[in-house]
Amino acid sequence: MKIGIAINSFKQEKDFSKREKFCIESLRKCKDKNSKVTLYNVINDKDDINIDGFETLKFKHEKQFPFANKIIDRVSETDNDLIVFINNDIILNSSFFKQLDGSIDVYPASRAHLHSLDSLDEDLKIESYSVHGFDLFAFKNSWWKEKGHLYPDMYLGKPYWDTVYFMVSVLNGNYKILNKQPPVIFHVDHESESCKEEDEFSKYNENIAQTFPGMNKWWQYVQSVLLERSPVNKILWWKPFENELQLEKQILNEN
């Protein structure tokens, strides 16, 4: 199975923050371990950015922030069987590939949150499982070509795009949520300024989320299941319930 993994990085590599460098390093390591992986950086057609080891894909967007679905559309134009979009400050672990199942259409993944990190070779100091958000989506390419139009235009880097896309995935595909053990993606603690700003992009995303069908199911699942998980060694929301898959299907797929 050919796998395309894409980010949307708008910087030259020399200008990356530490966490962005970790993302790139982790993706290169994954590619080294899996010869069927191709890495992509999907960027504005007006930009000239090249990252070593990544193919550059360009698409047109006029606003400051791109629409997440348009990035995925661009990756779907490649000849990969599975297309993966991951936020550009997320560390991908090769355990992700062991989760793949040919019967699954879409994989939304939640991250394990790290206190700090100085090297990918050190032991991970995990603070929590950030079960209420998604930083990676993987799609069977043929499925995205058929169902991608169901994903609304939503601004990447602003609130709610990921939870709305999660609900579209749950309601329309054979899905597998990667928010259990083992975690496949990690994120180093930092302040998220873009998500704090009440600008036109945030308000646009929020308006879609407030009216999107099924979002009440998502919040019910978060409050009644995910945030009730037991901590382990002070890691919050770490241990899934024994019957979590059953609870997940019961709440998210109920009519």
Give the Cα-Cα-Cα angle 219, 64, 140 (nearest 5 degrees). 55
Q: What is the pLDDT of residues 109-119, one digit of tens each?
A: 999 999 999 99
Is 80 exceeded by the pLDDT of residue 193? Answer: no
Question: Percent of the chain scored above 90 by pLDDT?
Answer: 90
User: Among residues 34, 40, 42, which one has the least CA distance to residue 2?
Assistant: 34
Mean pLDDT of all residues in 123-129? 93
Is 60 exceeded by the pLDDT of residue 140? Answer: yes
Is 60 exceeded by the pLDDT of residue 196? Answer: no
Is 80 exceeded by the pLDDT of residue 194? Answer: no
Q: What is the pLDDT of residues 57-112, one digit of tens each?
A: 999 998 899 999 999 999 999 999 999 999 999 999 999 999 999 999 999 999 99
Q: What is the pLDDT of residues 36-68, one digit of tens each?
A: 999 999 999 999 999 999 999 999 998 899 999
What is the residue type of 77? E
Instruction: Judge residue 55's burial from the number of C-beta atoms within 10 Å of its C-beta, 0-12 exposed, 13-18 middle, 19 or more buried.
Output: middle
pLDDT of residue 255: 55
pLDDT of residue 189: 77
Extract the tokens encoding 187. 């994120």
Q: How far is CA 21 from the centre of its chain?
A: 17
Fold (CATH) for 3-252: Spore Coat Polysaccharide Biosynthesis Protein SpsA; Chain A (3.90.550)
Q: What is the pLDDT of residues 200-254, one digit of tens each?
A: 999 999 999 999 988 999 999 999 999 999 999 999 999 999 999 999 999 998 7
Per-domain boundaries in the chain: 3-252
